[in-house]
Amino acid sequence: MGCFRCTGKSRNGSEDEDDNYISNRNKPHNRNASGALKVNPNLDVVEKEMVSKDDQLALDVDGLNLEQEVSKDGKTNGKGAERFTFHELAVPTGNFRSDCFLGEGGFGKVYKVHLEKIDQDVAIKQLDRNGCQGVREFVVEVKTLSQADHPNLVKLIGFCAEGDQRLLVYEYMPLGSLENHLHDLQPCMEVLDWNTRMKIAAGAARGLEYLHDKMIPPIIYRDLKCSNILLGEGYHPKLSDFGLAKVGPSGDQTHVSTRVMGTYGYCAPDYAMTGQLTFKSDIYSFGVVLLELITGRKAIDYTRTSRETNLVTWARPLFKDRKKFSQMVDPRLQGKYPVRGLYQALAIAAMCIQEQPNMRPVIADVVTALNYLSSHKYDPQIHPVQNSRRSPSSPKGRRDNDKRQVAGDGPETETELDD
């Protein structure tokens, strides 16, 4: 699932119309009768963003001169990101040979290698000079992660900015992304159980809380999705990929006006329509991820029927009838989940994906609720297993199985998250 940018100005605030960042991939304006911008779900490129002059991160990288962002000893802003030469990264990878290749994203290709210099396995992202993300995103990533220090954020070990080469060096996350374990499950991989899913949700929420409430200045992530949640030993989750991060509003500001960028299916509708970015935009994205963890479904899945393609659109009518909650749970769990815990998790997800941003909870309340949920372990040997059938692996089989009610009714609970 790719990222997108809506063309045209946001309704509020002015943008810096720098022609150097207007990509030749620009798409025609696409507006409905009300004048609102439509998001094209098939647009899988990220255009270079023209940023608000009030965005401090953008001001820091406005000249796109990385030399101004690093000190002579190779550190960024006095923090721990080390500067590597291209030679130091090219030699261990055998000039980025295929057997070191891990995958590819919007930034470019990712390689795994052991760096003798630091005696550590690392993941190296090499910027694709013809790709959809550029030097601006590279510098924002370096600056954001160099200032961050939290167990639920991926650690940036260093970077390379030599000539036209741009590389990022991260700690290696051996279990890959949440997307791998939830949507691209290989035959040798086990289905994530309920306890692990709640552990991942709680950890991701804590990482987001750090960005919103602990970092100075506070950061809006803007790209929360399953593929950006990496997993370490014991399924310890860490947020990654901060190229789209924005400094959040402060003082009397209620939002940041910016070009709309993100991933279709995860982007908050209010942000997509107005270009007004708030911390609650991240909350919506988190709610979609939590729904994915509960249901096992993708945010957008074109292998399903038109009514079920969009996860949020499919889920909203089901939230109105708790007797249908059991139809929402991932059938691959085979009934091994707590009914009360399911109701509480769905309540949190429902609040996070409210259409009105002021109705969504703040991240601190989400963390409190999910810490509680993840601390109550479900044991199928002790607790009852809900009536369920194994789901076939094919999309059609999943659709047929989703139509069955996989669990009986249970006690209704409410989870209150005040804004």
Alpha helices in 186-248 (DSSP H): 194-209
Q: What is the largest CA-CA distance in the chain?
A: 64
Confidence grade of residue 131 (pLDDT, cut at 50, 70, 90): low
Range of lowest pLDDT (100-114, 307-321, 338-352): 100-114
Q: Tell me which of 106 and 52 has the higher pLDDT.
A: 106
Residue 175 pLDDT: 94
The predicted pLDDT at position 249 comes to 84
Give the ranges where 183-307 is alpha helix by DSSP (H).
194-209, 269-274, 279-295
Ordered by where they begin, the domains of the chain are 3-171 (3.30.200.20), 178-402 (1.10.510.10)
Angle between helices 279-295 and 194-209 (to 10 degrees): 170
Q: Is the pLDDT of residue 254 over 70?
A: yes
Nearest to 244 by CA among 57, 13, 383, 80: 57
What was the pLDDT predicted at 105? 72
pLDDT at 134: 66
**Of the listed ranges 21-25, 141-145, 195-199, 232-236, the one predicted with least confidence:** 21-25
Lowest mean pLDDT among 37-46, 62-71, 324-333, 391-400: 37-46
Query: What sign does the CA torsion over 276, 69, 232, 178 have?
Result: positive
- Please state the rounded mean pLDDT for residues 96-122: 85
Residue 141 near residue 168 (C-beta atoms within 8 A): yes
Confirm whether residue 323 is marked as ligand binding. no
Average pLDDT over residues 265-283: 94
Average pLDDT, the chain: 77
Residue 79 pLDDT level (bands cut at 50, 70, 90): low
pLDDT at 191: 95
List strand residue ranges (DSSP E) for 92-139, in order.
101-104, 108-115, 120-127
CA-to-CA distance for 106 and 148, rounded, in angstroms?
22
pLDDT tens digit sequence for 376-413: 999 888 877 887 544 444 444 444 444 433 333 333 43
Query: E strand or H helix at 257, and its extent?
Result: strand 256-257
Active site amino acids:
223
Distance in angstroms (rounded) separating the CA atoms of residues 354 and 72: 48
**Confidence tier at 98 by pLDDT (50, 70, 90):** confident
CA–CA separation, 123 and 115 (whole Å): 10
* Type of residue at 353: I
Cis ω on the peptide bond leading into residue 392 (within 30° of 0)? no
Q: Is the pTM of this model over 0.85?
A: no
Note whether 138 and 243 are within 8 A (CB): yes
- pLDDT for position 245: 87
- What count of other Cβ atoms lies within 10 Å of the Cβ of residue 18? 11
Please tell me what DSSP assigns to residue 390.
P
